[in-house]
Structure 1
Amino acid sequence: MNQIFVNDDAVLLRDVDAVLAMRRQAGLEGLVGGLAAVVINVAPDDLLPAAEELLASTNLHFAAALDDPLAGDGSPAILLHDPDGADFCIKSRTSGVNPFTAHNAGAKTGPEVAARLETFVFECHDLDRYAAIQRQRGVAFLTPEPVATDAFRFLQTAPSLHTGNSLGFIQWKGRPGSFRHGQSRELPLSVDKREGPWQARIGSLDHVATRVRAAHRDAAIVEFLSLTNYRFDFAVYVESLNSITNVARLGAGDYAQVFTSGISPAGSAVADVGPTEGFIANYGLRPHHMAFATDGIEAVVAGLSANGMQFLSPLVGSRDEGIKQIFSAMSPRTLLVNEYIERYDGFDGFFTKSNVTRLTKATENQ
């Protein structure tokens, strides 16, 4: 009789211990720092609207419109800057093969959808050493050598079979955060930002949650830990929805990487599909939401609502519980949900099970 697969934290924690030991022994510990940027690809006609949508729903600011500064392939890109957190590169691939296509398709997207948060870019303190160690481990990169400019050197992995995401690594030559370089070509694109007083209450990127299949949960987390300096923190099981929210953190207050999976595979004998595995069937293997910290979440939600943003749920949580959160409706341009989150009075739990349950339930509306 075939055994029914069920995720088990005891197995995951054993593998986590092994990968942390590998990092130390290989000399990887400390080479990779915090998140510098995220790269979102969209269809050509959606480039300006997607950038303006993000400017209207965050406190990001327009920095430049350039040929894609990371790929160097002439694709147009709009850079949005956060002085206190990760920057955003919104681009539109105009030539060549899209290495993410195989992961993007779902029942509700069609086979050739371009929209995706593709790459998480982390700072790296010694890119040559890092690349040599990871290549020896068998890690595949998209280019044989780093992309070299007068401002930085950059290298990124091939998309993961477990998450569909790529990780990029950037070593600054000059001012950290300066993506403009000597070969950059300015593009005549004008991006409008609708300013609202509530936008000043929206902070930096808090976390991004990627939906992964139940059977790939452990592999996805271990792979991410092997490529970064992050550590696995905790998992929240929502048995009634066949869902686990898993959190990896660099340090308290830093950007966190979140992986959400099924407890058991969709449609197995022990579990319904649930909204997490259902999302993958509908939209492909991809990030589900980007969360932004807030200070005064009620004012933020009121401002966003007045600007026309729709939400998947009402605000969940309370000051007494230490946290409030809300999910926006999915953007048709980026296929991403925005989450807004406020933690009160030094709350250190990152999430609560009650909020995770209610927000996961809300994604059934997608």
Structure 2
Amino acid sequence: MNKLCRDLGIEYPIFAFSHCRDVVAAVSRAGGMGVLGVVAMSPEEIDVDLRWLEENSGGHPYGVDVVIPVKTVDREAGLASSEQTLDHLKQMIPQQHRDYAEDILRRYNVAPLPETDGQHQDFAAEGFTAAGGGEQIEVVLNHPSSLIVSALGPPPAWLVDRAHERGTKVGALVGKPQHAERNVELGLDVIIAQSYEAAAHTGEIGSMVLVPDVVDAAGDIPVLAAGGIGSGRQMAAAMSLGAQGVWTGSIWLTCREAPAEPRHVERILEMTSTDTVRSKAQTGKPNRQIRTPWTEAWDDPSSPGALPAPLQYILYADATARAKRAGVEELVGGPVGQIVSRMNKVRSAGEIVLDMVEEYMDTLQRMRFQLEELERE
């Protein structure tokens, strides 16, 4: 469809971020590019899933999204051992914050996890750290992904160099034009302008302002628009602002291939845009997510305040695991963007891609007719 698609070997400039390998493979097979988010995965799990993608994407390209924050508690403390980092981080959580989290759970009669379940539910806390994230990246670099994207800050120069040596393009999500300028200097191949409407870690600038600003700052580097995009009309709007493609995420949460529990899917299908909130309650960094009693409690002026990353996530992961086990669905949140108001039915990933493309083409046709009318006047 455009030069970016030709460079990456894809048919449509639709990039689908998902933590689910089935979604990633389905989107790649449908002509877009699925991008696997690996922050919550151990190195062993990443290796298994990337091998699976290589066998089940039909030979089509796929990407990988990693989290490489510039500033976290472990980096400031100089913690370099992945085996000891988590234990050190847990010890750094103040008792005041532990008590506050426990009080929230007590209000909803959420019991502690049994000893056999353990307290560590996934690899995400380590994924935010320098040691854990480094281990994840080493595995990613051993696989033939076509694109590696840094989700939280500019990627380190060594990652850009090593990826380019093996023919892999590198991208990064940005929330300000000056972030884009920094990534251009690093030699990135793709820049993703993630606006205020987006899920997860996002900035304060809306898409109508951010996308053209980033396009101008990026110069010849292709820009993807992210935030509030889940339809062909929105895709056309992004492209008209100068983007060469769209980066989508939330829209895949309710597709058939996604592993979400039915009751969670039903809840998302009923949500409106105002049911999301940009809060530090999950990770310690501004993150758009489902509004829950957990987010409201941590955003309340009476709270001790969210802890810096990844300490806040350690509290959140434990609380969420306990709430799920107790069946207290209202406490179970997670990232979702304001596009959730338009997510009102379950479709396959392939259907979503084709629906977006068809509506995009229809929108361009309608705009062409409008242009012709103006020319006749």
Structure 1 length as normaliser, TM-score?
0.25
Tell me the TM-score normalized by structure 2. 0.25
| Structure with greater Cα Rg | 2
